[in-house]
Amino acid sequence: MAGTAPDGGLFVPETLPARSPGSFPDAADFSAVAAHLLAPFFTGSSLAVELDAICREALDFPVPVRCLETDPALGVLELFHGPTAAFKDVGARFLAACMRRILACGQLMRPPVTILVATSGDTGGAVAAAFHRQPGIRVVVLFPEGRVSARQQHQLTCWGDNILSLAVRGEFDDCQRLVKACFADPEITGIHQLCSANSINVGRLLPQAAYYARASLEHFRRTGRKPSFIIPTGNLGNGFACVWARRMGLPIGRILLATNANTTIPDFLATGSWLPRTSVPTLASAMDVGDPSNMERLRKLYPETSQLRDEVGAAAVDDSGIRSTIADEYARHQLPWCPHTATAFHLYRQLPESERRGQDWIVVATAHAAKFDEIVEPLLGCTVEPPAELAALLDLPASFRTISPDIQALVACLD
């Protein structure tokens, strides 16, 4: 419920539990795999007896691995089948199910509470959907003005009721800075009973490890081989969840992180110097992050850069590469991919032939292509139909307020 630690840093486990592949139930049952993976983190908690129910309630949509028949070494982990057509639905729904129960017992916090969330595109919509009309909770979503797709913005602003949407004149890093500043101020945090729902909140990050557990277990049991993952990443939550899953003992091979033109992560791995910077706008807007929060957790896990390089690789893809990959992959498989997913496909195609054929790869598809119709459709020359739940959201009216990127403006909206 605290989201961030009192010193402003992020919570990390003191130790990671060991989970052997043979101890898991049938990998086809996503919620059961998640409950088994996460059980050690709930030991001693009032939520321990609720964990199975939380997982069944929150993780009630498919996270399939699509096998591409023309490329037998390649699969695609589709994480866009939830209510807002993005991978953020997994963590947001899990967090909402947990918080609902915590507030109901009234031991840690009493309603009303305010969930403050910065989004580069998909997080805010998933959190709004997960907490919409939930009694005793207000959600305040900050997104960078003009830096998300039209359909993403609609998903961020179509809720009303207990959801307040704020467009910040700036970039995602400004939104993230405002959220962290509020949490670092005891008076603001106390008055509004602030909670977080970004991947800075460990309660949103942990369930994301579960889809890597399920995908790797399913592949390992079928083939006897550990799959490697290529993961689009911005704030590094999605990629770091895979790192955690592997450290806990899941059968995962290599982990490659795909970024857009915001190259903070690959530059760090190349040089050993951590140099956060102002983000630049790209076609993969949800990954436009210049100071990824979860690098703090990754550097805690691997303090030495040389050790980190042995565990994780990263490379950047520019907008030209994103455009060509969207078109090329559609020509190969007649499947439309979003700009973020395209960064991962680009990395896969750039691998040396020996690496591509020498092991099994799973590309992580983070959002439905229909969320980025203005980018994808002209490249494909066809219409990408939105999933039914996304189409229903696009029919709702939208409203938001615009604020300057300073804490006083944000606090004025909270009061």
Q: Which of 88, 226, 300, 371 is labelled catalytic?
A: 88
- Which tokens go with 288? 């436009």
Do the beta carbons of residue 234 and residue 257 sit within 8 Å? Answer: no
CA distance 51 to 201: 18
**Residue whose token pair is 């992050």:** 289
The residues near 164 (Cβ < 8 Å, ≥ 6 apart) are: 138, 139, 140, 141, 401, 413
Angle at 340 between CA 339 and CA 343, to 5 degrees: 90
Known catalytic residue at 226: no
Contacts of 15 (CB under 8 A, 6+ apart): none
C-beta separation of 260 from 318 below 8 A: yes
375 φ/ψ sector (left φ>0, alpha ψ -120 to 50, else beta): alpha
Cβ neighbours of residue 370 closer than 8 Å, sequence gap 6 or more? 85, 151, 336, 376, 384, 385, 386, 387, 390
314 and 287 Cβ atoms separated by less than 8 Å: no
- Residues annotated as part of the active site: 88
